[in-house]
Amino acid sequence: MNIIQRYWKVLLAAMFAVVVWCFWGFKYSSGLVYQEQLQLFLFDSEMFFERLAVPGGIARYVSEFLVQFYNVVQVGAVIIACVYVLLQLATWKLVKKQKVSDAWYLLSYIPVILLWMYMGDINVRLSFVISMLIAMTCMVVYPEKSSSVAKYIYVAIAVPFVYWITGPAVLMFAIYIAIKEILANRNFLISAVAIVLSVACMLASAAFVPYPVARIFYGIGYNYVVDVVAVMQYIVMAAFVIIPIVISVLPEQKEGKTSRFVFAGVLAGVVSLAVIAVPANYLSASYEVLDYDLLVRQQKWNEIIEKAEKKTPDTPLTVSSLNLALAMTGQLNEQRAFQFFQNGWQGAFPVFNKNFESSLMTAEIYYQTGMVNTAQRFDFEAMEAIPDNGKSARIIKRLAETNLINGQYKVSLKYLRILQKTMYYRNWANETIALLGNEKAINEHPVYGYLRKCRLTKDFLFSEQEIDKIMGQLVVQNSKNVVAMQYLLFLPQLEGNQQKYLIYRNFVDETLKKQKNQ
């Protein structure tokens, strides 16, 4: 019992970390994978100096280094859990600069819970979290009890440093100093210096970096959507500044029934906030799309079907993922497919939309049917549609594959050389480079060899209303392309065109008969 009384804060932090780990590692792991596939972290000096050249670039560089570990979702969940715990610890360290009762300890979790809620937006980047952690660390080491001269020196050095490392998170640092100095010492001058210097740094940097002032103020690399100001971002930043100060001025609670009653009330409030508010921000249909995309990327076709049996998908991207899974398992037929919700041809081949996730998932369907060039075009479009104009390791890997299948070995090598500078794709890139030019090895490869035989060798334009004809061309190209054959028969059923279905059915029967005779 004495051990629990002595280390109860450590035990609570450990329990919190486990909950966060389970949340991200099991329930919302697709959100981690989504973050990883939106970036390309390279181990070279060029990328480091590119990040160093902009405010907040170092925090972004550190976060991108960590995000690459999201490839193993359990490791990614551990990273987020550790960062959350460090932020909570920094919050309590700020509180403990004053004599504060432990009865208020759980209030130090509120800023982290608000951050957890905010990260329900899939566009929030880890660089925002890392920036706040760095700013919080500088707030913790602020010499509150030193002389005015030492404080001025600290502010003069720390504010520009924190700004260039973290970006607008420096405002947290400056505002915290301003509030503390006003409350504790009535020192309005140093408060003004901290805030004015931080804003001056941000305005001055606009003259040297190729970004508008507005974007500098809401953070370069804090969010994938660069043209929208997230109000919740500033609420979270404010919480990490204001809540520690509020806790530090709460009345002291002596040991006894009153203290235990206060602690129980705070516990109930904080737990209720976490249990009710956090999940509410993760109910977006975006996560369902990401779940399907992750399973498609991992080619877990049976798991996709099992997921659809529990809750039938109802959007073009999720329905198309289900239909692809049915096709890959030989079940894309009238008896099986129409056990689920279908929304026309969009549920087979979603219409082109210059959107990262949409283009990427549609490209996967074309790739699996054998339309290698179309898949390559959609992957190009997907990478161009990345909101912050970044690059994607996942897409570069696929572009290396499509060019290899097409025999464009120099182009494929260009992409593979890029992936050799990464951590998780390096071994695959080295193995694939060995295939370049080796026609025998490529033709015998279970994926590349098969797609090389299935692909259409002539480029041509086609409309989205003619995909059934393209599926027919794929069947003519290779009668063993059962995926394209299933789509060919399925598309007229989606539009209720029985006459077209009978024509295609007869064509398929004749094709299979010729194949059998051969």
Percentage with pLDDT > 70 across the chain = 96
More confident residue, 16 or 258: 16
What residues does 223 pair with on adjacent strands? 124
Question: How far is 485 from 362, CA to CA, in rounded Å?
Answer: 18
Question: How far is 258 from 264, CA to CA, in rounded Å?
Answer: 10
Q: How confident is the model at residue 227 (pLDDT cuts 50, 70, 90)?
A: low
Average pLDDT over residues 409-418: 96
Closest CA to 366 of 442, 455, 302, 300: 455
Give 502's contacts (C-beta < 8 A, 6+ positions apart). none
Average pLDDT over residues 397-412: 95
pLDDT of residue 116: 95
Average pLDDT over residues 372-400: 92
Mean pLDDT is lowest, of 212-221, 241-250, 312-321, 350-359, for: 350-359
CA 358 distance to own-chain centroid: 15
pLDDT of residue 418: 96
CB 174 within 8 A of CB 195: yes
pLDDT surpasses 80 at 22: yes
Mean pLDDT is lowest, of 106-110, 200-204, 227-231, 454-458, for: 227-231
pLDDT of residue 249: 81
Mean pLDDT is lowest, of 82-86, 262-266, 299-303, for: 262-266
CA distance readout (Å), 498 to 24, 209, 406? 47, 61, 36
Q: How confident is the model at residue 228 (pLDDT cuts 50, 70, 90)?
A: low
Percentage with pLDDT > 90 across the chain = 63
pLDDT digits (tens, 9 = 90+) for 158-191: 999 999 999 999 999 999 999 988 888 788 899 9
CB 378 within 8 A of CB 369: no
pLDDT of residue 443: 93
Question: How far is 258 from 14, CA to CA, in rounded Å?
Answer: 27
pLDDT digits (tens, 9 = 90+) for 33-66: 999 998 999 999 999 999 999 999 999 999 999 9
- What is the total residue count of the chain? 518
- Roughly how many angstroms between the first and final C-alpha of the chain, as a whole number? 80
Average pLDDT over residues 502-517: 84
pLDDT surpasses 70 at 257: no
How many Cα atoms within 13 Å fall on the side-chain side of residue 268?
Answer: 6
CB 220 within 8 A of CB 60: yes
CA distance readout (Å), 344 to 188, 260, 323? 66, 61, 11
Residue 421 has a CB neighbour count (10 Å cut-off) of 16
Q: Cα-atom radius of gyration of the chain, to the nearest Å?
A: 28
Q: How confident is the model at residue 238 (pLDDT cuts 50, 70, 90)?
A: very high
CB 356 within 8 A of CB 38: yes
Q: Identify the DSSP state of 424.
A: S
Q: What is the 3-state secondary structure (H, E, C) of 312-365?
A: CCCCHHHHHHHHHHHHHCCCCCHHHHCCCCCCHHHHCCCCCCCCHHHHHHHHHH
pLDDT surpasses 60 at 136: yes
Domains of the chain: 2-283 (no CATH), 286-517 (1.25.40)
DSSP states of 89-101: HHHHHHHTTS---
pLDDT of residue 463: 72
Q: How confident is the model at residue 495 (pLDDT cuts 50, 70, 90)?
A: confident
State pTM to two decimals. Answer: 0.91
